[in-house]
């Protein structure tokens, strides 16, 4: 599989940089924070699944061969603030084939929706169902747009540039 040589993720929610770049060196992804003209290596493995859909903190985000109607489940491990490590089932569904707009241009992409129940921090009460919507564009071999929102979470990731490795 040809992997993107450089894919950028923007959004001020991850650490101290407003933008991140994922670059491959020796076939291994590395994350770099970008602010103005400054580029600094950053230890942020959470960014890689947002770009490549690799198994990570959001589970196995991509399945191939991809097609509209494909659905699967995965166990996702996470640790809410002030709580013990836990595992919940996440459900993924490829819902549509759509054109997605990014700063780099328009791409045809699969719309994928992931849902999972997230318990409340307090022992009582029901949690919330969190929905993550993202788009995988085969031409970029990357997730071109990702959005997650919940009562305690808001993450947006958008492809702003990419180069495919030769």
Domains of the chain listed by start with CATH number: 4-164 (2.40.360)
For residue 54, which of 165, 152, 157, 136 has the smallest C-alpha distance? 136
Total-model pTM:
0.72
Cα–Cα–Cα angle for 70, 80, 82, rounded to 5 degrees: 170
Per-residue pLDDT of the chain in tens (166 residues, 90 and over written 9):
233 444 444 444 455 666 777 777 777 878 877 777 878 887 776 677 777 776 566 778 899 999 999 999 988 876 666 677 778 889 999 999 999 988 788 999 999 999 988 766 555 556 778 888 999 999 888 888 888 876 666 777 777 677 665 4
């Amino acid at each position: 599989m040809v992997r993107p040589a450089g894919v950028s993720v923007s959004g001020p929610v991850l650490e101290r940089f407003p933008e991140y770049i994922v670059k491959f060196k020796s076939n291994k992804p590395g994350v770099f924070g970008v602010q103005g003209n400054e580029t600094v290596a950053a230890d942020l493995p959470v960014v890689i699944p947002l770009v490549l859909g690799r198994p990570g903190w959001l589970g196995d985000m991509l399945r191939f061969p991809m097609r509209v109607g494909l659905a699967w489940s995965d166990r996702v491990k996470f640790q809410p603030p002030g709580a013990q490590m836990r595992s919940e089932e996440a459900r993924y569904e490829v819902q549509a084939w759509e054109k997605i707009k990014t700063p780099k241009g328009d791409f045809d992409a699969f719309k994928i929706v992931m849902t999972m129940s997230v318990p409340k921090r307090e022992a009582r009460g029901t949690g919330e169902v969190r929905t993550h919507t993202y788009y995988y564009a085969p031409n970029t071999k990357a997730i071109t747009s990702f959005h997650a929102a919940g009562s305690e979470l808001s993450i947006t990731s958008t492809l702003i540039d990419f180069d495919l490795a030769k």
